[in-house]
Structure 1
Amino acid sequence: MITSTPVGDWTWEVTAHDDEILPTRAAQTAVAVWNELAKRNLAVPEGKGRVLARSGEKLRDVRLDASGLHLGADPLAAGSDLAPAVAQAEALDGDFVLTIQIDCPGWWLEPGFEYRAEHLFGIHLEVWDGKLLVVTLETYSDAWLTMDTRDREQPEVYAANAPRLADALEGISALLGSTPAPGDENRYAAPTATGFKDLRSEGPAYVDSWGTFEGLDRASLLSARIPSSEDEYESITEHPVRYFAIQREGRTLGFVWASVGDAAAGYVPRTAAGDEAFDAGAGWLLRLRKAHGRGLSPLNALAWLAQQSPQPEIGSIVEDRPTEAPSLDFLEELSGRY
């Protein structure tokens, strides 16, 4: 399953005793960590980045914020998005806290298949006082766990993926010259220095943690993108649902659905599609609000959506008729797994 919040994280701290850690060196380090993931096919040579500089005295005082940076195979090459942002940080005077973030698309494996997630890993690097370098690696997949986040054992998935993660953690440690501090046990898993704790004997902290929390996390991310309103369909149902896949340029971003038995309808983002799934979902939820305001039943709203003019930025419905799923949980699992 792919999650909206980290399944686990690891942090390395490096103290410079002589030379100051300048933004250029910090960016080179972030890219080097990214390359350690890429060596194991855990990251692909593209991604999104951000460079943030905040006053050392008052962190709310933002001195530089370059976000939405496209990162290619050589992210620090002349003409890239990242290089000028790093140069701007390099030109800043005085004390500031530098942050560099990279969202890493990558591949996880299942027997006979490989699947891509647009935010498989996240790299978060901070420089404090020009002397302390803090690197945090986060993962948004449960492919490294002996049990997935719905409490099902997955020996083949674990065997295909966990060694790659352990090897990457070892490679990053060698690169940085320090060992990682695993993050705290969370709702999904318990990180260790080499990956994750085997939860098969003790069990996870929560029963069906993905089913319990992911829907809430998704709803929060979607609601943050649109104004609040009471003119909406119900968001949950115990009945079967019918749905259309939302696609853009051949990629599925999510699913718009309607209950067959009550007043529920909504949009489920395909988490592996990353931020695009949530950005598109905001548009489909606004369309559903319009349908609700017209007094349409959920199933009639679904048919009405299929007849609307294409809006490229939110994707489109390409199927002639909707597919029926036995439950909303079935559809949500589909959207979270692949």
Structure 2
Amino acid sequence: MITSTPVGDWTWEIPAEDAGIRPAAAARTAVAVWNELTERRLAAPGSRAGLLVRAGSKLRDVLLERHGLRLTTDPLAPGSAFAQAAAQADELDGDFVLTIRIDCPGWWFEPGSEYRAEKLFSIHLEVWDGRLLVVTLETYSDAWLTMDTRDREQPEVYAANAPRLAAALEGISALLGSPPTPGDENRHAAPSPTGFEDPRSEGPAYVDSWGTFEGLDRASRLTSLVPRSDDEYEWTTEHPVRYFTVQREGRTLGFVWASVGDAAAGYAPRTAAGDEAFDAGAHWLLRLREAHRQGLPPLAALDWLTRNSPQPEAGHLLEDSAREIASLDALEELSGKC
């Protein structure tokens, strides 16, 4: 399953030498960590980086900010967007805090198949006044666990993926000169220096953590993208649902759905599609609000959407007629796994 919040994280702290840590050196470190992931298909060209520099004395003062920097096979090639941002940061004087974040698309494997997530890992790097470099690696997949985040054993998935994560952690540790400090156990899993603890030994922290928390996390993120309104269908249902697949340029972004038995309708983002799934979902939710204002019941609203789709960047409905699935939970699982 792909999650909206990290399944686990690992941190390395590297004190500065006498010369301090300049932004250009930090950028090289970030790219070197990214390369450790790309070697194992845990990251890929097309990753997006952001660079932020804030004044050390007043963190709200932004000195430099760049977003959406696309990483190529050679991210620091002369003239590349990331190289230019790092060079601009390197020209700054005084005490400041540098933050670099790279969201990494990558692949996880299942028997006979491989799947791409647009944010499989994130690399987060900070430099505080040139004196301390902190690197944190986060993952948003449970492919490295002996049991998935719905508490089902997955020995073949684990065997295909966990060694890749272990090798990446070992490679990053060799690069940075120290082992990682695993993050604390969270709602999903307990990180270890080589990956994750086996949840079969003591049991998971929460039963069905994905089913318990992911829907709430998604709903919170989606509602943050649209204005508040009373024109809303219910967000949950115990009835079967009918749905359409939302696609753009051949990629599934999510599923717009309606209950067959009550006043519920909504949008389930395909988490593996990353930020695009949520951005598109905001458009479909606004369309559902319009249907609600017109007094349409959920199934009628779903039919209305076939004739009143949002703008093209929100995607289009794939099917000619709605499909039916046994429950909203089953549809949400599809959106978290496919």
Could you report, residue by residue, the CA deviation over 1:38-81 in whole angstroms, capped at 9, with x for unpaired residues?
Answer: 11111112211100011111212221111122222221123322
Q: Distance in 2 between matches of 1:258 and 1:196?
A: 38
| 1:55 to 1:201, Cα distance in 2 relative to 1, 3 A | same
Matched, 1:244 2:244: yes
Superposition pairs of residues 159-178 of structure 1, within 5 angstroms:
159-178=159-178
Superposition pairs of residues 283-322 of structure 1, within 5 angstroms:
283-309=283-309, 311-322=311-322
Of the structure 1 ranges 12-21 and 169-178, higher mean CA displacement relative to structure 2 is found in 12-21
Q: Using the TM superposition, give the Cα deviation of residue 309 of structure 1 relative to its aligned residue in structure 2, in angstroms.
A: 4.9
Q: Are the equivalent residues in 1 in contact too, given 2:284–2:310 (CA < 8 A)?
A: no
Could you report, residue by residue, the CA deviation over 1:149-172 in whole angstroms, capped at 9, with x for unpaired residues?
Answer: 000010110011001100000000
Could you report, residue by residue, the CA deviation over 1:213-243 in whole angstroms, capped at 9, with x for unpaired residues?
Answer: 0011101111111111111100000000000
Q: Distance in 1 between matches of 2:196 and 2:325?
A: 33
Give the counterpart letter for 2:332 in structure 1. E
Q: Match of 2:167, SS?
A: helix
| 1:88 to 1:22, Cα distance in 2 relative to 1, 3 A | same
Q: Using the TM superposition, give the Cα deviation of residue 310 of structure 1 relative to its aligned residue in structure 2, in angstroms.
A: 5.8
Matched, 1:275 2:272: no
- 1:41 counterpart residue number: 41
Give the counterpart letter for 1:278 in structure 2. F
Give the counterpart letter for 2:44 in structure 1. V
- 2:262 counterpart residue number: 262
Q: Match of 2:201, SS?
A: coil
Of the structure 1 ranges 43-52 and 260-269, higher mean CA displacement relative to structure 2 is found in 43-52
Q: Match of 1:218, SS?
A: helix
Superposition pairs of residues 185-196 of structure 1, within 5 angstroms:
185-196=185-196
Of the structure 1 ranges 91-100 and 280-289, higher mean CA displacement relative to structure 2 is found in 91-100
Q: Match of 1:174, SS?
A: helix
Q: Match of 2:200, SS?
A: coil
Give the counterpart letter for 1:240 in structure 2. P
Could you report, residue by residue, the CA deviation over 1:225-279 in whole angstroms, capped at 9, with x for unpaired residues?
Answer: 1111111100000000000000000000000000000000000000000000000
List 4+ stretches of structure 1 deviating above 3 A. Answer: none
Q: Using the TM superposition, give the Cα deviation of residue 90 of structure 1 relative to its aligned residue in structure 2, in angstroms.
A: 1.1
Q: Match of 1:200, SS?
A: helix
Q: Distance in 1 between matches of 2:19 and 2:46?
A: 31
Number of positions where the alignment pairs a residue of Structure 1 with one of Structure 2 = 338
Give the counterpart letter for 1:173 in structure 2. S
Matched, 1:76 2:76: yes
TM normalised by structure 1 equals: 0.98
Superposition pairs of residues 1-338 of structure 1, within 5 angstroms:
1-309=1-309, 311-338=311-338
Q: Distance in 2 between matches of 1:258 and 1:201?
A: 40
Q: Match of 2:256, SS?
A: strand
Segments of structure 2 that go 5 or more residues without pairing to the other structure are none
Please provide the CA RMSD for this pair: 0.9
Q: Distance in 1 between matches of 2:204 and 2:113?
A: 27
TM normalised by structure 2 equals: 0.98
Q: Match of 1:302, SS?
A: helix
Q: Are the equivalent residues in 1 in contact too, given 2:283–2:310 (CA < 8 A)?
A: no
Q: Distance in 2 between matches of 1:318 and 1:145?
A: 33
Q: Match of 1:258, SS?
A: strand
Q: Are the equivalent residues in 1 in contact too, given 2:124–2:135 (CA < 8 A)?
A: yes
Give the counterpart letter for 2:64 in structure 1. L
Q: Match of 1:201, SS?
A: helix
Q: Distance in 2 between matches of 1:79 and 1:294?
A: 52
Q: Distance in 1 between matches of 2:307 and 2:320?
A: 10
Q: Distance in 2 between matches of 1:328 and 1:309?
A: 22
Segments of structure 1 that go 5 or more residues without pairing to the other structure are none
